[in-house]
Every structure is written in structure tokens, then in C-alpha cells.
Amino acid sequence: MKFLFDLLPVIFFFAAYWLARFFPDGSLALVRDNLGGWTNTSDIDAELAAIMIATFVTILATALQIVITWVKRHKIDRMLWATFLIVALLGGLTIVLHNERFIQWKPTVLYWLIGGVLLGSNALFRRNLMRRMLESQIRLPDVIWSRVNLAWALFFIALGVLNLYVAFHYSKDAWVNFKMFGCTALVLVFSVAQGFYLSKHIIDDEPGA
């Protein structure tokens, strides 16, 4: 359930984009009348209109995540706040300036932020964040925890690069599909691979068990 909750903005973005693409004339009119901002709207085509609608929906979905999290836990994680700020800033620029590149940078900025935090916390403060998140569930040697933290950091940095490659070399439709299915599948595959790797190094609670 948490995985689906975390994916909520991505799912909403995907659904809103393809719904808008299915009704191009209505979507284009909606954007030009309501999301055109104070600039000329003649540069907005059906694809860009779909991106702008999906971006607006994503901002609302991320805000909804914050509200739901506060109601359930009375606490908002810093990463969720950071995600909302990134989405609101880059998404807002996409809507106001009629430029999809800003929202296309959003996954990369978020992935690089996560990778940078994992690397920076370990290097500057000697805090292995992956260990802090998982050590209540499994016990591993110190060297394995270091490898896990480094592996996830490099993975997110590489995923950010891949997102930019798809965004700048393929169509908007292809990028939206990659954002929904490609990134999600890569995270799942990497998680499973990590699980297999960690299973070989788990320390038993009882010697000889």
C-alpha cells in the first residue's frame, strides 16, 4: 500500500496525460482558457496541453499526499516536502512558461537529490541512511551496509540521467510511458536484485540457527 501511495502523483500524471490526449480538442481549449497564464497561448499544441494538465493534476496529487500523511501521522517527511517543492516549482514553470522541459526535469532532480543525500549523509556525517531505514528488519555486516547505500545512490543518479535521455531523445508520449512504467519497473527490478544480494549476507540472530 505504501508503494502505491508513493506512486500516487505518477499514476495521476499518467492518467491525466492520456485522458487529455484522448480528448485533444477539449484539453487544448481547457488549457488555453484556464492554464494559459498571461502569455500568448498560440504555442500550446495538444501534446503540450496534455502535459500541462497532467502537471497541474500532479501538483494537486502531491499536495493531497501531504494532507493524507498529516491526517494519519501528524508528521510530514522531509522528502515529501522536498518532492512537493520540486513539483510545485518545476510544474509551475511548465504551466506558466508553456514549456514541458521543466516538468521533465522533475524526476531527475528528485532522483539526484535522493542519490546526493545518500552519498552526502554517509560522507559528511557518517550516517548510512539505508542502514537506518532497514536495520530494524535485517542485520548485515557493516561493509554490506556501505555497499547497499552506495548502490542505491548510484542507481538513483543513473536513473536521473536515463530520464533526461528519454525526455530529450523521444516523444512526449514515450517519456510519459517511461515515467510511469520504465522508472517503476527499474526500481522494482533493482529492489529485487538487492534483496537477492542481501539474503546472502544476513546475520542470523542466533548463532548456528
Q: pLDDT, tens digit, for every residue of 22-44?
A: 999 999 988 988 876 556 677 78
Between helices 78-97 and 101-125, what is the axis angle to 10°?
150
Q: pLDDT, tens digit, for every residue of 116-161?
A: 999 998 888 888 898 888 888 888 888 998 999 999 999 999 999 9
Residues 6 or more apart whose CB falls under 8 angstroms from that of 44 comprise 28, 31, 32, 36, 52, 98
pTM attached to this predicted model: 0.89
Sign of the Cα pseudo-torsion (145, 131, 107, 182, in order): positive
Would you say residue 3 has pLDDT above 80? no
Start-to-end Cα distance in the chain = 32
Residue extents of the structural domains in the chain: 1-98, 100-204
| Three-state helix/strand/coil letters over 137-190 | CCCCCHHHHHHHHHHHHHHHHHHHHHHHHHHHHCCHHHHHHHHHHHHHHHHHHH
Average pLDDT, the chain: 90
Q: pLDDT, tens digit, for every residue of 184-209?
A: 999 999 999 998 888 887 877 655 44
Would you say residue 172 has pLDDT above 60? yes
Would you say residue 1 has pLDDT above 70? no
